[in-house]
A = this chain, B = another copy of it.
Amino acid sequence: MGRRRSVSAGEPLIWEDDDSLLVANVIEGVLKLTTSTADGREQIVGVAYPSDFIGRPFGQTSAASVVALTDARVCVFARNDFDRFAREHPELEHKLLERTLAELDRTRAWMMLLGRKSAPEKIATFLLDMSERLADNGCMAHTGPARQFTLPFSRQQVADLLGLTIETVSRQFTKLKADGVVALPGRRDVEILDRSSLVMLAG
């Protein structure tokens, strides 16, 4: 049915305001969903992990661009084919509905973060969120939140996710390190030393 396709890190899969011609399933890797203003400000509005669905069925244009954060493999479908197929397979539509509702919940929780949380709260929430998301997405069974992990994001991308600037993100990371809450062994590596502090900070 769908065509397998590899996307290397940084490569776009869908452009904002494109006629929504394709949908896809993530097999491997991580991709970002973004919207941008005319003057170049960017906001990451979603992140797709393996098994997540990408694209906008039953609609004219996709509201967001999709760009791979890591090398990724996806299974793409022509939107029209998918729409038709979905309507004939209620089980598929049901699955898709459940996923979409879950994504909407997650997105709404993120709105709270964007609209009402301070920079330290944003960073703490982000790290806890990553620690859970990245744990579940290896192959191993449900081992609970990861204590250490590698972010699929650059500092700028963390900023775009949290509605901050890169400098503020950097300063907050440095602060957490200085306070012994996390260790930062590599550019994108995080080790959580004091989870309860993070939970406090997340508010």
Give A contacts to B, CB under 8 Å. Answer: 33, 35, 37-39, 41-43, 45-46, 56-59, 63-64, 87, 90, 93-94, 96-98, 100-105, 107-112, 114-117, 160, 162-163, 203
> Closest B-chain residue to A159, C-beta based?
B115
> Closest B-chain residue to A96, C-beta based?
B97
- Cα of A64 to Cα of B42 in the assembled complex, Å: 27
Please give, as numbers and ranges, the residues of chain B lying within 8 Å of A87 by CB-CB distance: 94
- Cα of A57 to Cα of B57 in the assembled complex, Å: 20
Question: Given B35, B57, B90, B98, which contacts A112 in the complex, CB threshold below 8 Å?
Answer: B35
- Cα of A33 to Cα of B57 in the assembled complex, Å: 25
**Shortest beta-carbon distance, A29 to chain B, in Å?**
21
**Do A116 and B33 form a contact, CB below 8 Å, given A58-B98, A90-B90?**
no
Please give, as numbers and ranges, the residues of chain B lying within 8 Å of A163 by CB-CB distance: 114-116
Please give, as numbers and ranges, the residues of chain B lying within 8 Å of A45 by CB-CB distance: 108, 111-112
Say whether B116 contacts A111, CB under 8 Å. Answer: no
- Cα of A160 to Cα of B100 in the assembled complex, Å: 25
- Cα of A107 to Cα of B63 in the assembled complex, Å: 10
Say whether A100 contacts B94, CB under 8 Å. Answer: no
**Shortest beta-carbon distance, A172 to chain B, in Å?**
16
